[in-house]
Structure formats: structure tokens, C-alpha cells
């Protein structure tokens, strides 16, 4: 999809980070927007940055299938079509698999994986009506490799990758382009809504943990990520790697599919 002028673009998790940058960039390129998030304050800030664009906003918990389907109905009623859907909403969680609770698994799977499933299945029929339409699902570099304490997050992002790649094969002849996005470290606020475990010293300063997490991994700005996604979409790519760190991680995972952690452990910032 090279031309966004007058196209209807749906973006979940549009209240901040990559979602906000995608919204503002698409608005600059003439798109009509349908944006959702659970953070209405952030979503209104995104709307304010999309001057002169048609913008529909809604409070939607993507883990709630009925809420996503109601949002789909609202989008169709408002615009009559859908051309691009970006399932971007996501959360983070850091804990060992042994100590992660079942509720932690259900929470992160509900948003990161089921949110993608709900967004995909809700909008797929409308997308397939328009040849040249596109569906973009956001995974992570943690959908390429697994790290200690990231098991719950890895599970969701590997699932998004497998789900999206299967869909790409299934729709190859339909005129719908499907792309999976694997961002490396992005300077977003995802860590501030994340769940972090209590450290061995008894500390549970989540704000500090969130800041440390972002500072260690962040290499790319949301605006750079948004441009990369749209550029790769225009080129018809099936996989989008964002950032030099994502490219390095992808290469290491292919060269050392079992023992990559030996290298990654040394490369991780201290």
C-alpha cells in the first residue's frame, strides 16, 4: 500500500508510542483514521496531533472481543470501508515462568495475542472487500528470540508471529497484504503500563524498573518506527524489522537458533 490518501486506517493502541506516530504520519498522508485505546486521555492527545484529518476515536479494550466488534461496526458505519488495520496495542511483563501467575499469563495473552486475533477477525471481511488493502500485526524482536524473565511476553509475541505468517499464506491470492512487524527497542511508554516482579531485595519500585527496562532496550523513536512500517508496507514486505538491533537479533537467531543466548547475554546493555 503506497498511497494512503483518503484510505481508512484503523490503529489499536493509538494513545501513545508507535500507535500515535502511525496515526499522525497517516494523517499527514491524507488518511482517514479510526483510533482506539484504553487510555482516552492519550488518545485525545493523539487526535489533537492529527489536525485536518477525519478521526474517529473509541475506548476499546482489545482483549474484549465484543468491544472490538462494536468498534468495527462503528468504523464501518462512519466510513463505509476499511483499507488498513494495524493491530498495535500491547503490554509488557517481566517475571520468571516459575513465578509468573496464571493471572499474569491471562492478562498479557488477552491483550497481546487475543487483541490481535480479535482485531484481525473483526476487520478481515471488510479488508478483503478491497483489493490492495493491508493488515499489519505488531510482534516484537521477542517474537524471534526468547530471553530470561520474558517468557510470558515471548509467548504472546511468538504467537502473533505464527498467527500472522499463517494468515499471510492463507490470503496470498486475495489481494490483502499481511505484514508482521518486529520492533527492536523503541522509546515508548509500554514499560510504564507493564508488570514487573518484586526484586530479591524486596523492592517493588515499578517506575524505576520501567525506566531501566526502557533505557536498556530503546534504540529507535516511535516516529522512526512508524515511517519504517509504512515504508515496508509500501514495498510489499511480509516482515518488518525495526532498528539495527532488530536486524542483528534476527541474524543471530538464524545463525544460532539454539544457542543465541550465549551471544545475546554479552550484547545486552549492562
* Non-local CB neighbours of 113 within 8 Å, separated by 6+ positions: 155, 156, 159, 160, 163
Count, residues in the chain: 270
153 counts as catalytic: yes
| Element housing 113 (H / E) | none
CB atoms near residue 161 (< 10 Å)? 20
- Name the grid cell of 228: 519504517
Handedness of CA 79, 80, 86, 91 (dihedral sign): positive
Q: Which three cell numbers stand for residue 265?
A: 547475554
Catalytic residue among 79, 102, 153, 197: 153
Q: Tell me phi and psi for residue 245, to 5 degrees.
A: -65, -40
**Distant-in-sequence contacts of 122-126, Cβ < 8 A, 24+ apart:** 122/65, 122/68, 122/69, 122/71, 122/72, 123/10, 123/72, 123/75, 123/82, 123/85, 124/176, 126/72, 126/76, 126/81, 126/82
Q: How far apart are CA 120 and CA 50, in angstroms?
A: 25
Burial readout 100-117 (b: 16 or more C-beta within 10 A, e: otherwise): beeebbebbbbbbbbbbb
151-170 helix and 114-128 helix, angle to the nearest 10 degrees: 20
Which residues are tagged catalytic?
153
Amino acid at each position: 500500500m503506497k498511497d494512503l490518501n483518503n484510505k481508512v486506517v484503523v490503529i489499536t493502541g493509538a494513545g501513545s508510542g508507535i500507535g500515535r506516530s502511525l496515526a499522525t504520519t497517516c494523517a499527514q498522508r491524507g488518511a482517514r483514521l479510526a483510533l482506539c485505546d484504553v487510555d482516552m486521555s492519550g488518545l485525545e492527545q493523539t487526535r489533537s496531533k492529527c489536525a485536518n484529518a477525519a478521526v474517529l476515536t473509541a475506548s476499546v479494550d482489545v482483549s474484549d472481543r465484543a468491544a472490538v466488534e462494536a468498534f468495527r461496526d462503528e468504523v464501518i458505519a462512519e466510513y463505509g470501508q476499511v483499507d488498513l488495520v494495524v493491530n498495535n496495542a500491547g503490554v509488557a511483563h517481566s517475571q520468571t515462568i516459575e513465578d509468573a501467575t496464571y493471572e499474569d499469563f491471562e492478562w498479557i495473552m488477552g491483550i497481546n495475542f487475543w487483541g490481535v486475533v480479535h482485531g484481525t477477525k473483526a476487520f478481515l471481511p471488510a479488508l478483503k472487500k478491497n483489493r490492495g488493502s493491508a493488515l499489519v500485526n505488531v510482534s516484537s524482536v521477542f517474537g524471534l528470540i526468547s530471553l530470561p524473565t520474558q517468557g510470558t511476553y515471548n509467548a504472546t509475541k511468538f504467537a502473533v508471529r505464527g498467527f500472522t505468517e499463517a494468515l499471510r499464506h492463507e490470503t496470498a491470492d486475495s489481494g490483502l497484504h499481511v505484514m508482521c512487524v518486529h520492533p527492536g527497542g523503541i522509546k515508548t511508554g509500554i514499560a510504564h503500563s507493564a508488570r514487573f516482579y518484586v526484586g530479591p531485595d524486596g523492592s517493588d519500585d515499578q517506575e524505576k524498573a520501567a525506566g531501566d527496562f526502557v533505557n536498556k532496550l530503546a534504540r529507535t523513536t516511535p516516529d522512526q518506527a512508524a515511517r519504517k512500517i509504512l515504508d515496508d508496507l509500501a514495498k510489499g514486505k511480509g516482515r518488518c524489522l525495526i532498528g539495527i538491533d532488530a536486524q542483528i537479533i534476527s541474524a543471530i537467531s538464524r545463525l544460532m537458533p539454539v544457542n543465541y543466548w550465549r551471544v545475546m547475554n554479552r550484547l545486552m546493555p549492562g
